[in-house]
Structure 1
């Protein structure tokens, strides 16, 4: 797979850019709704993707080996699905042909995050959220028909 093909596996959900806590005793990953300072909460894209490692030293470069070794990638992540030999979901831009379907399906973090900026790590516990680590399944199937009356409800 070329670099460009690999990068195209990102569905643009933004879930991997949320801060996560790890229980040191159990190894359990605990999600927050706190977004990396570089995540644009509306587009769900990195605002400085090219230089992200300089701005955010703990940003993780996703390559095939890393994807197989980290437990916190969302269950619907395109990288994870491909690594596990599974199909991409209907709302993935490579399947739908439209980068907006991840948002229309209610899978992305669009409009659901708070920036980490100005917060101390000890305050992250005040921002716990279950939904980022859950499998959204097929998302809101009404998005296929253009019926968006239930999106966000």
Structure 2
């Protein structure tokens, strides 16, 4: 990868390896979301995809995730703005909005240790969807993003 690529190149100029490296590994995109069909509001739950290793905050079967979890979606340049629910801390969102990577981001800090210490990952609160009955999902809502708050 090119040195400090995230500061020197636009998202459109990144290699696939650099694009993948932007992921801080927080696991927030792997949390279950529910969209209200009437209002369009999106609720985020503390319930994580069954493939998320909550301890490492990484997918346990990244290469086969789309086959194993059909609702898993791939973030790319062509659909980045469709992911309006990405947290403000997300590197993809930050760079797309013209902001810099957070100081705790693994590319800046050298490891994911600071991210976890600052509780920026789901490691400290997520539960696997294998442990929660879908009928109880409403009890696990941690954030609601109203349709009119999308940026």
Give the TM bin, normalised by the shorter chain: 0.7 to 0.9
Residues in 1 aligned to 2:55 and 2:131: alpha-carbon distance in whole angstroms: 20
Which residue matches 1:59? 72
The counterpart of 2:99, out of the listed 36, 61, 86, is: 86
RMSD across aligned positions (CA) = 1.7
State whether structure 2 residue 140 is matched by structure 1 residue 127.
yes
Alignment length, in residue pairs? Answer: 132
Higher relative contact order (CA 8 A, sep 6+): 2
Residues in 2 aligned to 1:83 and 1:97: alpha-carbon distance in whole angstroms: 22
Displacement of 1:119 in angstroms is 4.2
Which residue matches 1:7? 20
TM-score (norm 1): 0.80
- Asked if the contact 2:104/2:114 (under 8 Å) is kept, the reply is yes
Structure 1 residue runs of 5 or longer lacking an equivalent are 134-153
Residues in 2 aligned to 1:51 and 1:100: alpha-carbon distance in whole angstroms: 27
Displacement of 1:121 in angstroms is 3.3
The counterpart of 2:118, out of the listed 102, 105, 121, is: 105
After TM superposition, the runs of 4+ consecutive aligned structure 1 residues lying more than 4 A away are: none
Structure with greater proportional helix content: 2
State whether structure 2 residue 29 is matched by structure 1 residue 16.
yes
State whether structure 2 residue 16 is matched by structure 1 residue 34.
no
DSSP-derived class of the 2:62 partner: coil
